[in-house]
Amino acid sequence: AALALGLAACSSGNSGGGGGSTGDVKGKTISFVPGVSGDSFYITMQCGIQAEAAKNGMKVDMQAPQQFDASLQTPIVNAVVAKKPAGILIAPTDAKAMVPPLLQAKQAGIKIGLVDTTLSKDGIASSSVSTDNVAAGASAADALAKLIGQQGKVLVIAFKAGASTSDDRQHGFEQEIKKYSGIKYLGAQVNDNSPAKAASIISATLSANPDLKGVFATNQFAAEGAATGLRNAGKQGAVKTVGFDAGPVQMQQLKRGDVQALVAQQPYQIGTQAVDQLVASLTGKKPNPKIGTTTTTITQDDLSKPAGGQAAYKT
């Protein structure tokens, strides 16, 4: 049952606390605009948003772009603004390109809360709830270094240049990997959130560097594609992969040995906390402008521990 949580209907309970307040927001609508549709990370986040909104008597309207791309997310924001919700919770797909549409939303009197990704400009959103992605990228570097015995060539697959999470994870990784003198960093390549592109990045890298030892795949779709690329080359398990997030598919990947470690975020809690901050800003209270959530690195060893991995399933 636990395996289905990220994809199927939301589980009840486990709201992460807070909420339960005020008639001021009752009956009002929150528009949730994730980075892309069909991504279990955002689906779990939506469960958190819905649970916390329900506690406050609020409705949630979810509108997702078909691809993780600002040119597809912008018209969605514009359409949402026309509907005049009380607030928008959004994961901007590009830190710069999403500034103008969200500034317009703010100017239309809609409260903006950022979830997961951030903007390059302050003063638009009243709050931001996200993982510390620089620190998470550094954790990925340490995990990968350990998996390869601190020796050999490693590659980063950055899922989207210009998205704060992708950029921060890459930079955090790059800073940390410098500490390992036996590791040669081959640089980052961008897969534009496409598993197929990640698979061909792996194939091309292996042709030029048959002695590749490790890969940091910065999100779910990067890790899926990396696994395909490595399997096609018969290098599954021989080249170690650190993936990101711990939804049902990622946990299966860890079990199967498609990836050897996962950096797990807390999407449900990001959702509940973002609603709490939005409610604060809608009821004249001072929202917390920046909340950082932590990650847990999960390896195959954790799967055999009763408590291990469980955190990853929690939605």
**Residue of the chain from 29, 205, 219, 228 that contacts ligand T6T (CB under 6 A):** 219
Q: How many CB atoms lie within 10 A of CB 177?
A: 22
Give the separation between CA 68 and CA 210, rounded to whole angstroms: 31
- Span from 7-15, 34-42, 72-80, 276-284 in contact with ligand T6T (CB under 6 A): 34-42
Give the separation between CA 299 and CA 297, rounded to whole angstroms: 7
Position 220 contacts ligand T6T (CB under 6 A): yes
The pair of structure tokens assigned to 309 is 């991995």
Our CB check for ligand T6T shows the closer of 219 and 236 to be 219
Helices 40-55 and 267-282: angle between axes, nearest 10 degrees:
40
**Residue of the chain from 39, 52, 94, 176 that contacts ligand T6T (CB under 6 A):** 39
User: Do residues 156 and 187 lie in contact, with contact meaning Cβ atoms separated by under 8 Å?
Assistant: yes
Our CB check for ligand T6T shows the closer of 56 and 165 to be 165
User: Do residues 88 and 31 lie in contact, with contact meaning Cβ atoms separated by under 8 Å?
Assistant: yes
Our CB check for ligand T6T shows the closer of 166 and 236 to be 166
Our CB check for ligand T6T shows the closer of 74 and 117 to be 117
> Which alpha helices (H) appear in 180-219, and where do they start and end?
195-208
Could you tell me the strand order of the sheet in which 127-131 lies?
59-62, 29-33, 87-90, 111-115, 127-131, 290-293
Position 221 contacts ligand T6T (CB under 6 A): yes
Position 165 contacts ligand T6T (CB under 6 A): yes
Amino acid identity at 155? L
**Residue of the chain from 69, 94, 116, 276 that contacts ligand T6T (CB under 6 A):** 116
Position 41 contacts ligand T6T (CB under 6 A): yes
Position 245 contacts ligand T6T (CB under 6 A): yes
Our CB check for ligand T6T shows the closer of 245 and 302 to be 245
Helices 220-232 and 195-208: angle between axes, nearest 10 degrees:
50
The H or E element spanning position 268 is helix 267-282
User: Do residues 87 and 115 lie in contact, with contact meaning Cβ atoms separated by under 8 Å?
Assistant: no
Our CB check for ligand T6T shows the closer of 6 and 152 to be 6
- Residue 151 three-state SS: coil
Query: What's the min distance (Å) between Cβ of 282 and ligand T6T?
Result: 25
Within residues 129-158, the interface with ligand T6T by CB under 6 A covers none
**Residue of the chain from 117, 170, 272, 295 that contacts ligand T6T (CB under 6 A):** 117
Our CB check for ligand T6T shows the closer of 29 and 166 to be 166
Our CB check for ligand T6T shows the closer of 95 and 202 to be 95
String of contacts with ligand T6T for each residue 68-87, x by CB under 6 A:
--------------------
Query: What's the min distance (Å) between Cβ of 91 and ligand T6T?
Result: 6
User: Do residues 77 and 105 lie in contact, with contact meaning Cβ atoms separated by under 8 Å?
Assistant: yes
Give the separation between CA 80 and CA 32, rounded to whole angstroms: 9
Give the separation between CA 19 and CA 42, rounded to whole angstroms: 21
Position 94 contacts ligand T6T (CB under 6 A): no
By the criterion CB under 6 A, which residues form the site for ligand T6T? 35, 39, 41-42, 116-117, 163, 165, 219-221, 244-245, 265
